[in-house]
A and B are shown apart, each in its own frame.
Chain A
Amino acid sequence: MNEITPVKTKHLLSQQNMIILIVLGAFVAYPFFVSNYFIDIAFFFGTYALLGLSLNIVLGEVGLFDLGHAGFYAIGAYTTAILNTKFGIPILVLLPVSALAAALFAYLVCSPIIHLQGDYLLIVTLGLGEIVRLALINNPFDLTGGPNGVFGIDFPTLPGGFVIDSSIEFYFLIWIIVGASILGLTRLQNSRIGRAWNYIREDEIAASANGVNVKNYKLLAFVLGAALAGVAGNVYASKLMCVSPESFTFWESCLMFCIVLIGGMGSIPGVIIGAAFISLFPEIFRPFAMYRMLVFGSAMILMMMFRPGGVWPRKRGAVEFRSLIGTSRSKDA
């Protein structure tokens, strides 16, 4: 396949920008043409996109095997749930709080294990995710509601009194957050931090030998990834109005893992497509009932056979959304 060299132009009306505009237009117009059911599906697509982006930081950029990411998601969701139902704190205020809680948790538990290599880190993160879920089920201190979970969560209210309570409003909420995350993460990719991360992923020892503080950067990745997952948890909790441990299983972590890998490690547009695949595929194939999971499993295998780099692999050094947001031009890493 011919690689198209990145378009190094600041032309506002370039082909690339037009396509981006069309996609954005489609996203904005979509909810006005379909029923609530399809808006909700797109909402969950957005949630998975956000989760995929959050795991992408850890797995895609730094190459750390994290199979327990659902744990951070759960912490964000439950923080929102508990603080809102017990203390009445508004949801939007809890958004940064949940992010912080998840980030803090990540910092505390990942610090002792950050030095573990590859598959050992995998099993430990897996274990951590399970510990979080089991702890939630067991209802310590009567906080988490056990298997019932926590219910009666409010809707987010914007300053000025506007309540976000319909499908279409939630849709825009999540996709605005996703959009903001994409912008932030793209900048991060091109920053010193992003390059350090990629360096660690490619060759940890060389990075360390060149003065990159591997431990701190890895920890930073986990903390940021957890924070973003916490944000996803907050919005999810508010949309469903209740949270229960069933939504945060090891299987969810696996799905997130697949999103990043199918989309393309470190590739932001790839992650979005990966999220689309993971969330929409089972819905579209619902009519096939039992057989749809067979197709799903086979599709995953086939994907890895034919496009192991992901549907939209990250091209080193290329910046996709360059012109519209005017980021710095990065040299090929």
Chain B
Amino acid sequence: MKILRYVMILGVFMFAFSFGTAFSATDSIVIGLQGPITGSWAYEGQMAKQSCEIAAELINKNGGILGGKKIELRVVDDAGEPKTGALAAQKLVGQKDVVASVSTYGSSVCEPASNIYEKFKKVNIGYGVTAVRLTQRDFKYFFRTCGRDDSQGRFFAEAVKNRFNAKRIAIMHDNTAFGKGLAEDTKRALKSSVDAGSIEIVYYDAITPGEKDFRVLLTNLREAKPDVWYFTGYYAEAALLVTQARDIGITCPFVGGNAAINDEFVKIAGVDLAKGCYMTNEPLPADLPYPEAKEFLAAYKAKFGDIPSSPWPIYAADALNIIAYAINKTGSTDSTKLAESLRNDIDGVPGITGPIGFTAQGDREGVPFYLYVVDEKGKIVVSK
């Protein structure tokens, strides 16, 4: 019996051994994709995976890169968790044939992951990571195709003045890395107006994500009598908040951040309550005017039945596309060359989400924001 136990331990190691070597490369260029395929953001992760598949297919159909080589996508699940994120990055870094990675969704997952990519000098491009600090670390190999919280915050501050003419603002976040970050950036963006006395932030508090009942919080908000209410969290809580808010008599306009309103939100809150809700968002897939977008969405719809309902998968596709572009441009798969090219040479390259270029810190240049609204029929359209 004792021997059996020792054998078990050794068996575990031998099993692990057998997983040791990475798969050998065929005549293709491997690009990694790291994302939350399982876990609480499985919804986003799976769409991102599908997006990258389409992007790769389109490139391969058009002749591949570097003289006809096909792109192969290698997907690693990071389950939306920091620790697994680190492991996933480590996995992709360890596979010698992976040239660069599209990684990832979720700023708190991206933080440890990008640390690893930077250490091993591998290009990684984030697609759903908006925390400002990610590009404040002087990293050479990290980029992102999505925008940042501070630009969204500034956009809301503008909208507040121009669109809503509001004096009393309520800001609510969900204590997550993303939500709180966006709320803080918004507060910062409003600071000058607050100091000048034209705007007052009458409410600033957080919900606990995963909770369902916010009536107490909302009562406090109601008593603060805001002119407009900005919520920077995710759609699940947003739907709950709106239904409960209307239930207890809050009538001011509700504006969600870019994770707060999507088709799920409309479904859960019901069209009656969802209509008239606003959102600050990067352009939704359906609203992208570029020819690349049309081509991409048509292909996506053909394969998966409908276009993606959130912008992040599109950023993932753009990330893959820009990596392919950089490989072609530099004519090499060397990480350092790619990083330099992305940083310095690439500018105004047409992409699905518009012209792609990166700042010196790796941020995406020129991400526009729109104000969206849910219309009578429950569709999310650009607000006029």
Direct contact of A and B (CB under 8 A): yes
**Given A38-B19, A40-B86, A244 and B108 touching (CB < 8 A)?**
yes
Q: How far is the CA of A300 from the CA of B5 in the complex (A)?
A: 18
Assess whether A41 is in contact with B16, with CB atoms less than 8 Å apart.
yes
Given the interface contacts A23-B10, A35-B20, A312-B5, does A242 sit within 8 Å of B83 by beta carbon? Answer: no
- Asked if B115 is an interface residue, CB under 8 A from chain A, the answer is yes
- What chain A residues lie within 8 Å of B107 (beta carbons)? 148
Complex Cα spacing A280 to B13, Å: 10
CA–CA, A34 and B133, complex, Å: 34
Q: How far is the CA of A33 from the CA of B20 in the complex (A)?
A: 8
Q: 8 Å CB contacts to B: which residues of A122-149? A: 137-138, 146-149
CB under 8 Å from chain B, chain A span 246-283: 246-247, 269, 272-273, 276, 280, 283
Q: Complex formed: what's the CA distance from A146 to B184 in Å? A: 12
Q: Are B87 and A4 touching (Cβ within 8 A)?
A: no
> Count of A-B contacts with CB under 8 A?
111
- Chain A's nearest CB lies how many Å from the CB of B227? 28
B5 touches A146 (CB 8 A): no
Most A C-beta atoms less than 10 A away, residue of B10, B38, B95, B111: B111
Docked Cα-Cα span, A148 to B131, in Å, equals 9
- Shortest distance between the CB of B275 and any CB in chain A (Å): 31
Q: How far is the CA of A34 from the CA of B94 in the complex (A)?
A: 10
Q: Which residue of A lies closest to B206 (CB)?
A: A138
Q: Is the CB of A35 within 8 A of B94?
A: yes
Q: Which segment of A91-99, A171-179, A284-292, A325-333 sits at the interface?
A: A284-292
B77 contacts the other chain (CB 8 A): yes
Contact A280 B16 (CB under 8 A): yes
Bound complex: CA A38 to CA B133 (Å): 30
B176 at the binding interface (Cβ < 8 Å): yes
Return B49 CB to nearest CB of chain A, in Å. Answer: 12
Inter-subunit contact B22/A23 (CB<8 Å):
no
The contact string, 1 if C-beta is below 8 Å from chain A, for chain B 357-373, is: 00000000000000000
Which A residues are CB-close (under 8 A) to B181?
Answer: 148
Q: List the B residue with the shortest CB-CB distance to A149.
A: B108
Categorize the interface residue count of chain A: 35 or more
At the interface, is chain A mostly helix, strand, loop or mixed?
A: helix
A36 adjacent to B17 (CB under 8 Å):
no
Chain B residue contacts of A87, Cβ below 8 A: none
Q: A26–B8 Cα gap in the complex (Å)?
A: 13
Please measure, in the bound complex, the distance between the C-alpha atom of A26 and the C-alpha atom of B1, giving whole angstroms.
21
Distance to closest chain A CB from B65 (angstroms): 27
Q: Are B38 and A269 in contact (CB under 8 A)?
A: no
* A-chain residues with CB within 8 Å of residue B1 when the two chains form the complex: 1-4
Contact A34/B81 with A23-B6, A167-B90 known, Cβ cut-off 8 Å = no
B residues near A1, Cβ cutoff 8 Å:
1
- Shortest distance between the CB of A86 and any CB in chain B (Å): 16
Q: How many Å lie between the Cα of A240 and that of B131 in the bound state?
A: 18
Q: Which residue of A lies closest to B6 (CB)?
A: A19
Chain A residues 19-71 with CB under 8 Å of chain B are 19, 22-23, 26, 30, 33-38, 40-42, 44
A304 at the binding interface (Cβ < 8 Å): no
B302 located at the interface, meaning its Cβ lies under 8 Å from any Cβ of chain A in the complex = no
- B20 and A247 form a contact (CB under 8 A): no
Contact with A along B138-149 (1 / 0, CB 8 A): 000000000000
Least CB distance, B360 to chain A, in whole angstroms:
21
Instruction: Report if B2 contacts A (CB, 8 A).
Output: yes
Considering the complex, give the chain B residue whose CB is closest to the CB of A29. Answer: B13
- Which of B5, B16, B87, B181 has the most chain A CB atoms inside 10 A of its CB? B16
What CA separation (Å) do A244 and B102 show in the bound complex?
A: 23
Please give me the residue from chain A that is nearest to B80 by CB atom. Answer: A246
Distance to closest chain B CB from A44 (angstroms): 7
Which residues does chain A contribute within 8 Å of B82, judged by CB atoms? Answer: 240, 242, 244, 246-247
Q: Contact at A37–B38, with CB atoms within 8 Å?
A: no
**C-alpha gap A165/B118 in the complex (Å):** 13
B68-101 contact mask (Cβ, 8 Å, vs A): 1 or 0: 0000000001000111001100110111000000
Q: Is the CB of B12 within 8 A of A280?
A: yes
CB distance from A265 to the nearest CB of B (A): 16
Q: Does A102 contact B (CB under 8 A)?
A: no
- Determine whether B112 belongs to the interface, using a CB cutoff of 8 Å to chain A: yes
Kindly provide the distance from the CB of B103 to the nearest chain A CB, expressed in whole angstroms: 15
Q: Tell me the smallest distance from the CB of A96 to a CB of chain B, in Å.
A: 24
Kindly identify which residue among A23, A35, A242 contacts B112, using a CB–CB cutoff of 8 Å: A242
Between A and B, 13 residue pairs with Cβ closer than 8 Å are A1-B1, A35-B95, A36-B90, A37-B90, A37-B94, A38-B19, A138-B175, A146-B175, A240-B112, A246-B81, A273-B8, A289-B37, A289-B77
Q: Which residues of A contact B (CB under 8 A)?
A: 1-4, 16, 19, 22-23, 26, 30, 33-38, 40-42, 44, 137-138, 146-149, 151, 165, 167, 240-242, 244, 246-247, 269, 272-273, 276, 280, 283-284, 286, 289-290, 311-312
